[in-house]
Chain A
Amino acid sequence: MCGIVGLFIKNKSMRDQLGALATPMFVCMGDRGPDSGGLAVFNEPTPESAQRWRINVFARNREYPWEPLIHGLRQTHPATDIVASSNHAILMTDQVPEIVARWLGEYDPMLIFLSTGRVMDLYKDTGHPRELAERYHFTDLRGTHCVGHTRMATESAVTPAHSHPFVAGNDFCLVHNGSLSNHNSLRRLLERRGIQFETDNDTEAVCRFLQWRMREGDTIEESLARGFEELDGFYTLLMGTPERLVLVRDAFACKPGIIADTPDYVAIGSEFRTLAHLPRIHEANLFEPVPEKIYSWTIA
């Protein structure tokens, strides 16, 4: 089944409430996806964020000892900061991510890189979304927009790596409700071009396909238009970039979605009940996204 949630803050003074507003949306959709979940959060871009990289790291051990890691990392890369909770850490550094990744790989080969970018953070793991929201303190998160997913797996394994959001490149994430029947041929098409995969999951193929098209120069609209031709299956897709939140449903539109547009925010969910707690929701312009139309919101 799976659940999708997205929140885009229009009113800048509400950006510190992003997590507080999005967490009940995410937890509610745990009904549609109780086996794993994830949330990508886009921090407000600043002059500082343009200079630093954010590397999100995941450890299998819930009580991971981050203190010795950061101590060691600072020996060679002094200008590195860390924000850690449980088995998740955000490293903020002036160094290019590849250099830090190499260091981390030598320090502990079991660490998993969730994402790299300038503004995006990514949390995901197996377990009920409620549990994840508490563990990672989602209510405290701030930012311009976020993309969340609660998974009820219908194909491929239930592991942290198979959880959504999927990422490709820097600061691009995608969540998916649905299933694809031609993801293996997409994967072969991309692998022939040297693109590497982390899982056998269908959504990862969509994510890497779209990011490949954008890297080749397509706009997100052009890459999605190409996706309409290439993707065989059912999908509601929600995507995040540093500037934009983008939503699309396939031609069949048999996976649900609802949009609430207000002067202060745009909220997206699989079902209305996930939006019901939002401020002034009853004054919102509520509508269902129509098939194959690209809905996009850009930060001011």
Chain B
Amino acid sequence: MSETFDLKTTTVRAINEHLHGLAPDATGVYEILNPNGSHNIAVGVDAPVEINIRGHAGYFTAGMNKQARVTVYGNVGWSVAENMMSGRVHVKGFASQCAGASGHGGLLVIDGDASSRCGISMKGIDIVVGGSIGHMSAFMAQAGRLVVLGDAGKGLGDSLYEAVIYVRGKIHGLGADARVEDLSEEDRTQIGELLEQAGLSARPAEFTRVASARTLYHWNPTSPQVSVL
């Protein structure tokens, strides 16, 4: 089944209420017209449906997404797919700050650039960016993979935990405790798989791997209790 919502004649709240009412195994295609930069479109969906947003969307688009495949035929504002749990969000244009922030799972694809703080505190989400990313991306990123076909801004991977970043272009500066590591065969395989899922093409061997030097955090249960100041 297919349904069309036009934001010229309805509200984001009405659309989201409808989507929240779907059964967890519901299928179907939902078209959202005239988003005109509205915030919170398709937030909190939990059903394997397809949602097509036909135009530029605002903040928090597809936030907390579970299962759904959301495509934005335009740009998005801050925090697209923030806290995504599963499913797939695909932005055909560019994304503003904090794309994929705190995401736990699923795949976020941005065809254009993502600005600063992309993948901040990511917790298992995979993010593929066709263009470049801005400063302080993957700050305190805990798990998941961030693949960037373009360049990365200053302070990349600052205070990184166990997320891994792959950058094809220039890295304008690493953050504290982030370091460049050798690209293994396993890395190349993973990059190749993510690129394929994202529908983007590049040679995996061209990427640089950035991961945590693990000097800023300690997670060793055998070490004695250290008092924290």
Contacts and interface: CB of A to CB of B under 8 A. Distances in A.
A271 B36 CA distance: 10
A32 to B, nearest CB: 11
Given A253-B135, A256-B96, A272 B115 contact: no
A286 interface: yes
Given A253-B134, A271-B59, A273-B37, 11 more contacts: A254-B97, A256-B77, A256-B97, A271-B37, A272-B37, A272-B75, A273-B38, A275-B37, A288-B94, A288-B115, A291-B134
B56 interface: yes
A276 interface: yes
A59 interface: no
Interface residues of A, number: 17
B36 A273 contact: yes
Contact of A276 (B36, B93, B94, B97): B36
Interface string A276-295: 11000010001110110000
A269 to B, nearest CB: 9
Interface string B124-139: 0000000000110000
Contact of A256 (B56, B78, B94): B78
B75 A286 contact: yes
A248 B107 CA distance: 33
Contacts, number: 46
A272 B39 CA distance: 10
Interface in A206-257: 253-254, 256
A290 B134 CA distance: 8
Interface majority SS on B: helix, strand, loop or mixed? loop
Contacts of B55: 282
Question: How many B residues touch the partner, as a band?
Answer: 10 to 19
Contacts of B52: none
Interface of A: 253-254, 256, 258, 271-277, 282, 286-288, 290-291
A287 B37 CA distance: 14
Interface majority SS on A: helix, strand, loop or mixed? loop
A290 B96 CA distance: 11
Contacts of B56: 272, 276, 286
A274 to B, nearest CB: 8
Contacts of B96: 256, 258, 288
Contacts of A273: 36-39, 58
B134 A272 contact: no
28 contacts: A253-B97, A253-B116, A253-B134, A253-B135, A254-B97, A254-B116, A256-B77, A256-B78, A256-B96, A256-B97, A258-B96, A271-B58, A272-B36, A272-B37, A272-B58, A272-B75, A273-B36, A273-B39, A276-B37, A276-B56, A277-B36, A282-B55, A286-B56, A286-B93, A286-B94, A288-B94, A288-B96, A290-B134
Nearest to A291: B135
Nearest to B55: A282
Contacts of A288: 94, 96, 115
Interface string B99-128: 000000000000000011000000000000
Interface string B21-38: 000000000000000111
